[in-house]
Amino acid sequence: MEKAKIRELIDTAIAQLSYSYTPYSHFKVGAALLGKNGQIYTGCNIENAAYTPTNCAERTAFFKAVSEGVKEFEAICIVGGPEGKLVDYTPPCGVCRQVMMEFCRPKEFQIILAKGKEDYKIYRLEELLPQGFGPGNLED
């Protein structure tokens, strides 16, 4: 992916931190999901007083896109940290990796973990979810 596109995804993910709703953990996460249609779908984490209904930033972005009819994706950028400070990379949780597995090709889908505009690492879904169970496993 071009550097300019990576920077755009990082900037977009960082901008989402201001919408992150985290009165309980104070750990803010922002995501920018790039569809194969070129559109960027944004997400933030949204917590809940009952805790378990909390939605991660990545799934917010995926569900926004899928709910608009978009099901093909190229990459996602994830940023996060305590009070939104980017002190480390924020890798996706296991549940979010599984949602990626539903809609993305494991060998192709890129996961960009960023700590700053010039400080990022890129993984393929296959690396973060080896031997993942996906739609293909249910085919005859």
What are the residues binding ligand THU (CB under 6 A)? Answer: 22, 25, 27, 29, 45, 47, 54, 56-58, 92-93, 96
Residue 8 annotated as catalytic: no
Phi first, then psi: give them for residue 124, nearest 5 degrees. -95, 150
What is the length of the chain?
140
The first and second tokens of residue 139, run together, are: 């085919």
Catalytic residue among 47, 58, 74, 126: 58
Query: Measured from the CB atom, is 34 or 61 closer to ligand THU?
Result: 61
The least distance separating ligand THU from the CB of residue 35, rounded to whole angstroms, comes to 19
Exposure string over 110-139, b if 16+ CB within 10 A, otherwise e? bbbbbbeeeebeeebbbebbeebebeeeee
38 versus 130: smaller Cβ distance to ligand THU = 130
Catalytic residues: 58
